[in-house]
Structure 1
Amino acid sequence: MKNLYDLVVIGSGPGGYVSAIRASQLGLRTAIIEKYQELGGTCLNVGCIPSKSLLDSSKYFSLAKNNYSSHGIFFEKLFFDFKKMMDRKNEVVKNINNGVKYLMKKNKIDVYQGIGSFKTKNILFLKDIKSLKEKKEIQFQYCIISTGSKPSCFPHLNFHLENRILSSTEALHLKEIPKKLIIIGGGIIGLELGSIFNRLGSKIIILEPMEKIISNMDDSLSHEMQKILEKSSIQIETSLSVSNIFKENHEQISVFAKYHNGKEVKFIGDYCLLSIGRIPYTKNLELENIKIQKNKKGFIHVNDDLQTSVKNIYAIGDVIGGKMLAHKAEEEGLYVVEHIVGKKPNKLNYDLIPSIIYTYPEVASVGRSENEIKKDKIEYNIGIFPMKILARARTSGCTDGFLKMISHKKTDEILGVHIIGDHASDMIMEASIAMEFRSSSEDIYRICHPHPTLSESFKEAALLNFENRSIHM
């Protein structure tokens, strides 16, 4: 017998389970299909959450080793237990898994484990994950595809712990600290995982094909971050292309690369992490059965309302491309559900989705970069305020970084905010809210900011923007 639902969501990552919850709140009979045993998708199980757990654990160890003595805190024998760090990471993930399960039960959402494959535009086959045999049919009025993405790999390679070629998934399940970890790709994943193992004693080499790391962010963030990482003994090589990777023996990996000037070089390590991007995951959906269109890179094509070429089927998150961020997927899911029930929600402003790197100090950015503004020939002002001037940064001991605010020269509207500093991931929300309401830099300066806080950097950068002066610099 067919199961009839108003909405079926395929994939239980942040976009998927948030969509399902909102749909149930709005009165839709809702089901969610997840192929893995645990809910939460990549973000919760092998991405955002476990990596942040290890980033925090390794940060505390690094601070205890290098910074606490200046606070008058000393240790006779400081050491870390890597297994305990990993156990804690697993426990954090398990607790949040249980939280998602509770939310499904609380909101009366039916959860099916298996693979969802389209039979028609209103019927899904639920298939067994191993045998791919059909277990049942599920009928629906609307469907949201939220199947996410998976790590990219070079064509002739496979990710595997034993052959020592890793994606972020394998890196988060290591049983030992690499002696020398070669990371291909200087983006968010590469910098975060590199930071974890660097703090725990690994020699880290980052190979970036572009001229700079975190190349999708403002140039000033890239340059400052490289200085900070190199100060922590992380080796960064840019402007080179990897030509081959192979296993020298049971303990060594060789990476062959060529700089853009033609010089060839070989790097040897005991593990190699590929963080060269992610690709959409649409395997076994059988989209061809209902003629859902994809672009050349495999991303599902959607319109402004996130509808696919089949109007009752929507797609959100990594599987449609754009910024591959959990909070983007969540907002898209909320929009789709409210659109389905006729609430006429505001469309997501993709220019104002914050990007964050959870290194120490953190990196956060929202709005347009200086290069993008220059390209559009917009006249602009810049206010850059160093964190080291703030009293709160000095009391905490994290004085690296700055806050950079860019505003329109004629209207003073804030166009972009770029931060390196402690708690940048939290501070960026002031910029996001201000820009959503099209605030000027003068608006920010006129608002009372508490002292001593890191948020005072907003006030100071804003004053630099519209008057070219600062109170404390």
Structure 2
Amino acid sequence: MNKINNLYDLVIIGSGPGGYISAIRASQLGLRTAIIEKYQELGGTCLNVGCIPSKSLLDSSKYFLLAKNNYSSHGIFFEKLSFDFSKMMSRKNEIVNSINNGIKYLMKKNKIDLYQGIGSFQTENLLFVKDKQSLQKKNEIQFQYCIISTGSKPLCPPHLSFDIKNRICSSTEILNLKEIPKKLIIIGGGIIGLELGSIFNRLGSKIIIIESKDKIISNMDHSLSQEMKKILEKSSIQIETSLSVINIFKENHKEISVHAKYHNGKKVNFIGNYCLLSIGRTPYTKNLDLENLNIKMDKKGFIFVNDNLQTSVKNIYAIGDVIGGKMLAHKAEEEGLYAVEHIVGKKPPKLNYDLIPSIIYTYPEVASVGLSENEIQKDNIEYNIGIFPMKILGRAHTSGCTDGFLKMISDKKTDEILGVHIIGDHAGDMIMEASIAMEFRSSSEDIYRICHPHPTFSEAFKEAALLNFENRSIHM
């Protein structure tokens, strides 16, 4: 282990879920480790302006929604139901701060050195840490290995900029609004658009979602898209698909205008108080000076890596959003663990990218793992399918959320489970049964033969598996 000051076995650039977890694992394996982070707080996008704050507000707004629409059926009544948006935001900030402090504690516990600033490659074994504002050198760091874990940022068209004053927001700005918009226009019908739209819809905003493709959450199974559209529209969320945005501009000091055109040529104009752009994310490699090492990237700026997550410079690895693929915190975490173990000479199993679960934290939740029915059809695989509605489950009735279904797809010849797609309460937790089963190449009969507890949402797995296996169901 290196003892020389500013000489590290491993340096990690970026302290998001991929970065800080990599650092902890490296320390556990005996590497002298440092993290370079340009922001004051650790945790990256996920903790500070992404996963955690959005889920905090999703939970707060969900409780208000349930109190407004569901609690009376339980015999719970309110004389004057109201909410305090500033308190919701304060709670969100307290949660973020608490987890931030937890990460700082883990860095100290594992003796990981922290450098505040921007990491800039000079050679394949030398980094400068530069001041975020002036870009002046603050420190020099020598290293044997490096992991780039700088993540991504919201994509913005070149002629626009994210600015609350101009009423054009990314997911970062929208999570720090001081008011509830009367009307919020969301461009992009993916995970971020649906989650943030749900928050403000529950709190009284009129929501319009504009999607350029012919359906929302188009990267998931088509049946999830269809069901989610019905559920959102039932909540008075307006969804416009096959619609391309032409221009966005500020109408006045309180309104913004979005001009768009349907694919059939018809033009339309939407007026709102704010516009949320959630049209994707772009890798963050600014000021890393990758050109000094000739580290290869694609046209969009994603860093090329091999099967071991090594860049074109073999002692420098890259993980998470910055290498593309599914831009999910849990993917970055697994890649970080793999990279560290590869560095120390272990032979970790390769991450199965086909079995990374995706979750949307709407109400009810959406969760998916494995192949969609669309993908299976394209691959010309013969398959069986079992779809079990949540409304048949006793547990769904007791919880008050009977929307959705569990869809299981298996290979017709072998009965191996190929994909599971869920809309329902607690779908984000339920999907792990499918992930584990598919990791071990289980059949639908395997799932059917396992005793599932009653009453639970997980019983939908057993019923869908039986539909797959024998084309019958006990309760349907």
Q: Could you say which TM-score interval applies, normalised by the shorter chain?
A: over 0.9
The match for 1:318 is 321
- Which residue, 48, 52, 57 being the options, matches 2:60? 57
Q: Tell me if 1:91 matches 2:94.
A: yes
The match for 1:305 is 308
Q: Tell me if 1:330 matches 2:333.
A: yes
Question: What is the rounded CA distance, in whole Å, between the counterparts of 1:382 and 1:329 in structure 2?
Answer: 32
Structure 2: unaligned runs, 5 residues or longer = none
The match for 1:387 is 390
Cα RMSD of the aligned pairs, angstroms, is 0.6
Q: Secondary structure at the match of 1:245?
A: strand
Structure 1: unaligned runs, 5 residues or longer = none
CA deviation profile, 1:402-461 (whole Å, cap 9, x unmatched): 000000000000000000000000000000000000000000000000000000000000
* 1:343 CA drift (Å): 1.1
Question: What is the rounded CA distance, in whole Å, between the counterparts of 2:306 and 2:157 in structure 1?
Answer: 31
- Which residue, 411, 430, 454 being the options, matches 1:408? 411
Alignment of 1:91-240 (within 5 A): 91-240=94-243
Which amino acid in 2 is paired with 1:193?
L
Question: What is the rounded CA distance, in whole Å, between the counterparts of 1:14 and 1:421 in structure 2?
Answer: 27
Question: What is the rounded CA distance, in whole Å, between the counterparts of 2:307 and 2:179 in structure 1?
Answer: 46
- Which residue, 252, 255, 277 being the options, matches 1:252? 255
Question: What is the rounded CA distance, in whole Å, between the counterparts of 2:263 and 2:367 in structure 1?
Answer: 30
Which amino acid in 2 is paired with 1:62?
L
Q: Secondary structure at the match of 1:204?
A: strand
Number of residue pairs aligned between Structure 1 and Structure 2: 473
Q: Which stretches of structure 1, 4 residues or longer, exceed 3 Å deviation after superposition?
A: none
Which amino acid in 1 is paired with 2:413?
K
Question: What is the rounded CA distance, in whole Å, between the counterparts of 2:163 and 2:221 in structure 1?
Answer: 34
Question: What is the rounded CA distance, in whole Å, between the counterparts of 1:48 and 1:182 in structure 2?
Answer: 21
The match for 2:349 is 346
Question: What is the rounded CA distance, in whole Å, between the counterparts of 1:163 and 1:257 in structure 2?
Answer: 19
The match for 1:280 is 283
The match for 1:466 is 469
CA deviation profile, 1:94-115 (whole Å, cap 9, x unmatched): 0000000000001110011010
Q: Tell me if structure 2 keeps the 8 A contact 1:404–1:417.
A: yes
Question: What is the rounded CA distance, in whole Å, between the counterparts of 1:111 and 1:298 in structure 2?
Answer: 26
Which amino acid in 2 is paired with 1:390?
L
The match for 2:72 is 69
Question: What is the rounded CA distance, in whole Å, between the counterparts of 1:236 and 1:254 in structure 2?
Answer: 17
* 1:2 CA drift (Å): 6.0
Question: What is the rounded CA distance, in whole Å, between the counterparts of 1:85 and 1:240 in structure 2?
Answer: 34
Q: Secondary structure at the match of 1:314?
A: strand
Q: Secondary structure at the match of 2:251?
A: strand
Which amino acid in 2 is paired with 1:457?
A
Question: What is the rounded CA distance, in whole Å, between the counterparts of 1:156 and 1:252 in structure 2?
Answer: 19
% identical aligned pairs: 86
Question: What is the rounded CA distance, in whole Å, between the counterparts of 2:346 and 2:463 in structure 1?
Answer: 40
- Which residue, 256, 272, 279 being the options, matches 1:269? 272
Calculate the TM-score normalised by the size of structure 1: 1.00
Q: Secondary structure at the match of 2:146?
A: strand
Q: Secondary structure at the match of 1:356?
A: strand
* 1:256 CA drift (Å): 0.3
